[in-house]
Amino acid sequence: MLKKKTDMQVKIADRLQQTEEYYFSKKLNQIAEMNKGGANVLNLGIGSPDLPPPPIVVETLIREAQNPHNHAYQKYNGVPELRNAIAEWYKREYNVSLDPEKEILPLIGSKEGVMHICMTYLQDGDEALVPNPGYPTYLSAVNLSGASPRFYELSEENGWLPNLEDLSKQDLSRVKIMWVNYPQMPTGAKANYAFFSELVSFAKRHHILLCHDNPYSFILNEEQISLLSVEGSKDCVLELNSFSKTFNMAGWRIGMLLGNRERIAEVMRFKSNMDSGMFYPLQIAASKALSLGKDWYKNINVEYQKRRIKVYELLDTLKCTYNEEQAGMFVWAKIPDEYQDSYKLADEILDRAHVFITPGGIFGSQGNRYIRISLCATEQFFEEAINRINSSRK
């Protein structure tokens, strides 16, 4: 008699060998278990806006969703209304001219766009320049593509900007793309037009496609700059942008990819095999968001500014140091010398005060001496966190 097989084992693909479950996914599970035990953890780690989207945008979504004709599959490259609205927004806010028919591709979130780009251009034997510290998705998407990441280190001493002179001395012959992100996450560092111009020149010399992730330019930032505003940049630049932070629409999953028509068409070849278009009412509502005036950006930044003052107070309590010129919805701070690394400080605060802050080490080795705190909580929430931390240290 044949022995019955009761324990089926299926080996995961090699592409997942270097890709772990996302840090925040694992940490949220831990926090959920702590809360089941009555901990009531205050989460200051994740940048998911707690403020509501613009009311007129929600009203538009509801109205469009009530139309029975608006629930069919949509075009893979988005509806004309959304592409036209993106083009007008980029011209008005960034002074960048884009062809809405050929140079704009709406996305189901810009995080997916990171993956689309890597899968379109990278394969085994290729390399991609990845910032350290930087958004972890750049690394995981490169690994999943089969290519090899090559980290370029960012430092506080250099304003968290890459040293292009040092990079130019390296053998970059296998490098196909370079991930950049300004205002930078997690550090909040800003780049100016002069540096962007140098970056474009560097990419052209070395035949590298620059992939600029630009979701934070309206949060606590006085000057909005697109890498596509540099003359001749469309030859070597793809830019991602998002509705998640600027319009408090993180869960709506709406982003955009911008670049010349050849690049957009190439990415479209991959994307069109991954989804079946975006819900029509979401696209129309997103179009409405892009038509909002300066008061929208001003009002949300007034709120974030008040919150940031409370975060500074919290960081002072922890004896951390920080640069007050940061942009974006996080504050990046250096930890005291007494701690071995950022994980030690974050774990101590979580265990003793039931307050979760993000260890900078998850963003790369250059973040080991730093922590990141999200501004996506009320002033009262931060006050409670400060009180807990003070009480835990008595």
pLDDT at 52: 97
CB distance 278 to 254 below 8 Å: yes
Residue 274, pLDDT above cutoff 60: yes
How sure is the predictor about 20, in pLDDT bands with cuts at 50, 70 and 90?
low
Whether residue 344 has pLDDT greater than 70 = yes
For residue 8, pLDDT over 80 is answered with no
Do 47 and 330 meet the contact criterion of CB atoms below 8 Å apart? Answer: yes
Q: Is the per-residue pLDDT at 334 higher than 80?
A: yes
- Residues 39-82 have pLDDT tens digits of 999 999 988 999 999 999 999 999 999 999 999 999 999 999 99
> pLDDT averaged over the chain?
95
Residue 3 confidence (pLDDT) above 70: no
Q: Is the pLDDT of residue 15 over 90?
A: no
pLDDT in the model for residue 46: 84
Say which range, 7-16, 101-110, 293-302, has the weakest mean pLDDT: 7-16
Q: Model confidence at 7, in pLDDT bands (50, 70, 90)?
A: low
Domain ranges of the chain: 18-47+295-392, 55-289
Q: Which helix (H) or strand (E) segment is 157 a member of?
A: none
Locus of tokens 């062809």: 99
CA distance linking residue 115 with residue 111, whole number of Å: 7
Dihedral angle, C-alpha 43, 47, 48, 49, nearest 10 °? 100
The yes-or-no verdict on residue 366 having pLDDT over 70 is yes
Average pLDDT over residues 96-103: 98
Question: Do 18-47+295-392 and 55-289 agree at the fold level?
Answer: no
> Average pLDDT for residues 226-254, to the nearest whole number?
98
pLDDT at site 30: 87
CB 382 within 8 A of CB 307: yes
pLDDT tier for residue 4 given thresholds of 50, 70 and 90: low
Does residue 171 carry a pLDDT above 70?
Answer: yes
11-25 as b/e: b if 16+ CB within 10 A:
eeeeeeeeeeeeebe
**Rounded Cα gap, residues 236 and 161, in angstroms:** 19
55-289 is a CATH 3.40.50.2000 domain: no
Kindly give, in sequence order, each residue whose CB lies less than 8 Å from that of residue 240, ignoring residues fewer than 6 positions away.
107, 110, 113, 114, 211, 212, 213, 214, 215, 255, 256, 257, 258
Q: Which CATH architecture has domain 18-47+295-392?
A: Alpha-Beta Complex (3.90)
pTM: 0.94
Nearest CA to 194 among 236, 229, 221, 157?
229
What residue spans of the chain are helical by DSSP H?
Answer: 23-36, 55-65, 80-94, 110-121, 136-145, 164-168, 193-206, 261-271, 280-289, 294-317, 342-353, 379-392
**Structure token digits, residue 322:** 């920080």
End-to-end, the C-alpha distance of the chain in Å comes to: 69
- Rounded Cα distance between 146 and 174, Å, is 13
